[in-house]
Structure 1
Amino acid sequence: MNVVAFKRSVQGTGASRRLRIAGKTPGIIYGGKDAVSVIELDHNALFHALRKEAFHSSILDLDVDGKTEKVLLRDYQMHPFKPLVLHIDFQRVSATEKVHMRVPLHYINAEAAPAVKLQGAVVSHIATELEVSCLPADLPGFIEVDLSGIEVGRGIHAKDIALPKGVSLVLHVEQENPVLANARIPTVKSADTEAAPATAAAAAPKDKA
């Protein structure tokens, strides 16, 4: 994805406030051998980009005054109640250095699982993303989690899924092996059972005054 930004010459709280009034969002680029760069971006374009999944999990081509850098989105701040991006941080990446990144999970084939088709189980997605390590060129836009073999009472763990080539779980995820999804049989209360107390109460004789 391509992102356009411009160098920011003035810094400080007052300058950032004036930028936001003018429809711009202040930001920074850090990492690598270069010094931290302060930048500004068009707010509306940035706001719409943030709504795209790929913007959060892809290597971005950030064009700053005609010079392009490879970066990752690392953080952004939103206004507490307004649709307003207050600040954004990008990190430079090197083609030869691995990055740690949270990648979205796309769940597939739940409807084909015997637990769902034959037992009426409901599949719950416990996690929506997974932290992985890889070179920038190997970073996937998302990771598919195949639910066709899920069983009732047994979840799908991080180490159960097939990762793309060159991608591995970060150390703490490898050690913790968290549950990503599980299947359970829903508990349904009988309508007759629930209605019984109310019916009995209505039928009970009332004391005469």
Structure 2
Amino acid sequence: MKVVAFERSLQGTGASRRLRITGKTPGIVYGAEAQPQLIELDHNALWHALKKEVFHSSILDLEVAGKSQQVLLRDVQYHPFRQLVLHVDFQRVDAKKKLHTRVPLHFMNQESNPAVKLSSAVISHVLNEIEIECLPSVLPEFLEVDLAKIEAGQTMHAKDIVLPNGVSLVAHVEAENPVIASATIPAGAVADEAASGAAAEGEGDKPAA
């Protein structure tokens, strides 16, 4: 995904405020053993880009003054109540160094899960993203989580995710192995089932006429 930015020479609260009045958003690019670079971006284009999942989880081609560099979006500061982006941070990518970043989880086959269809189970997504490490060349846009076989009362953990070659969970996620999804039967469904069972037993106890 390509992002066009422009060099920015002025900094400070006043300069940033004036920049925003003109429909621009201040930002910075840092990392890869190079000097930080002040940039500005068109606010409307940035606002629409931020609504796309891929903008947050993939390597971006950032063009500044005609030169392109690969970056990751690292931080976004929003206005507390206005639809306004105050500042963005991008980190340069080194092709030879592993990245530590978060990628979205896409949950698959939830509707066709037998526990959902037959037992009224509800599958909750506990995490919507996970932290991984890999070289930039194999960074996935998202990871799929197959919910086809999770049963009522069961949970899925981070280690249950099938990772692409060259991709691994970061050390603390590997150690903690957090829950990413769980399947439960709502109390109402359990009560209904119990009531149905009791009614059936009651009918069986009635004397024949």
- TM-score under structure 1 normalisation? 0.89
Which runs of structure 2 are paired with 1:17-96 in the superposition (5 Å)? Answer: 17-96=17-96
TM-superposed deviation, 1:88: 0.3
Which position in structure 2 is the counterpart of 1:186?
A: 186
Which position in structure 1 is the counterpart of 2:11?
A: 11
Distance in 2, matches of 1:152 and 1:176, equals: 23
TM-superposed deviation, 1:17: 0.5
| 1:139 partnered with 2:125 | no
Which runs of structure 2 are paired with 1:189-208 in the superposition (5 Å)? Answer: none
Distance in 2, matches of 1:161 and 1:40, equals: 38
Distance in 1, matches of 2:109 and 2:12, equals: 51
Which runs of structure 2 are paired with 1:104-119 in the superposition (5 Å)? Answer: 104-119=104-119
Which position in structure 1 is the counterpart of 2:200?
A: none
Distance in 1, matches of 2:87 and 2:76, equals: 6
For structure 1, the 5+ residue unaligned runs are: 194-209
- TM-score under structure 2 normalisation? 0.89
Distance in 2, matches of 1:8 and 1:19, equals: 10
Number of residue equivalences: 191
SS of residue matched to 2:35: coil
For structure 2, the 5+ residue unaligned runs are: 196-209
SS of residue matched to 2:148: coil
Which position in structure 1 is the counterpart of 2:154?
A: 154
Which position in structure 2 is the counterpart of 1:203?
A: none
Letter in 2 for 1:178: P
Which consecutive segments of 4 or more residues in structure 1 shift more than 6 A?
A: none
After superposition, the C-alpha distances for 1:60-82 in whole angstroms (9 at most, x for unaligned) are: 00000100010000001000000
After superposition, the C-alpha distances for 1:19-66 in whole angstroms (9 at most, x for unaligned) are: 000000000001012100000000000000000000000000000010
TM-superposed deviation, 1:187: 1.2
Distance in 2, matches of 1:161 and 1:18, equals: 47
What percentage of aligned pairs have identical amino acids? 65
